[in-house]
Amino acid sequence: MQRHPFKILAATLTLSLGIAQGARAGEVAVAVAANFTAPMQEIVAEFAKDTGHKAVPSFGSTGQFYTQIKNGAPFGVFLAADDTTPAKLEQEGGTVAGSRFTYAIGTLVLWSAQEGFVDGKGIVLEKNNFAHLSIADPVKAPYGTAAVETLKKLGLYERLSAKIVTGNNIAQAHQFVSTGNAELGFVALSQVYKTGKLTSGSAWIVPAELYEPILQDAVLLANARDNDAAIALLKYLREPKAAAIIKSYGYQSK
């Protein structure tokens, strides 16, 4: 059977291009704030399909990641739950200058796994008809800081402080509520929200004026300045597909 020379050439070029793309594909370890778990899992999958690169995320508290990075943990990209921790790393020379930007603005929500338990205005806090209120550690987790700020602005912190149970990070704070160990808690909206609606339970979206904006910054760490996958991931986070995923979980943009 005679084969068309142009078809052979096209197939050869396609194969060569595929090999070249595969050779350029890389991998990056990413430290990701726990509140960003769900959107990051979607983004990682799309990033791999669209670029061929692989991002390997680890999820936890921003404060713990800062300590790990300072101790030499091999992360290439840091997606924090605040803007101060990446800025601190930048000042300490641990990042690539000019790489830091706000990838999301977080939203705090008072949530209960029980339908109808939390009203739409947060009056449940004033009624004080519960045993435990879950928050993330305000020392390590920005959402925990925002929760304390909210309670103080409402004049309820002293009154409710004995009922507060503290998670190591926002994921554990959410777990306390989802398992029923706390009737309600302050969590990230992204943990209980998808494409315009609450995924379960009942909630009050805390008005933005009750806490300082939760600016979540991304940064390229110094040891990954030549890592193509790391550089590509930060670029991808600012592109329309990733932005749409981030917005679908209730985050705002700067």
DSSP H helices in 113-251 = 123-127, 142-153, 157-160, 170-178, 228-236, 240-248
- The pLDDT value recorded for residue 254 is 77
Q: How confident is the model at residue 24 (pLDDT cuts 50, 70, 90)?
A: low
Which DSSP string do the residues of 203-215 spell out, in sequence order?
Answer: EEEPPGGGS--EE
Structural domain span for residue 230: 27-105+214-248
Question: Is residue 111 in a domain?
Answer: yes
Confidence of residue 90 (pLDDT cuts 50, 70, 90): very high
Residues 225 and 237 in one domain: yes
Residue 18 burial (10 A CB sphere; 0-12, 13-18, 19+):
exposed
Six-digit token string for 10: 């096209």
State how many domains the chain has. Answer: 2
Tell me what the mean pLDDT of segment 37-43 comes to: 96
What pTM value is reported for the model? 0.83
Residues above pLDDT 90, as percent of the chain: 83
Domain identity same for 52 and 178? no
**The domain that contains 235 carries what CATH number?**
3.40.190.10
Alpha carbon 206 to chain centroid, angstroms: 18
pLDDT 10s digits, 133-179: 999 999 888 999 999 999 999 999 999 999 999 999 999 999 999 99
Please give the mean pLDDT across all residues of the chain: 91
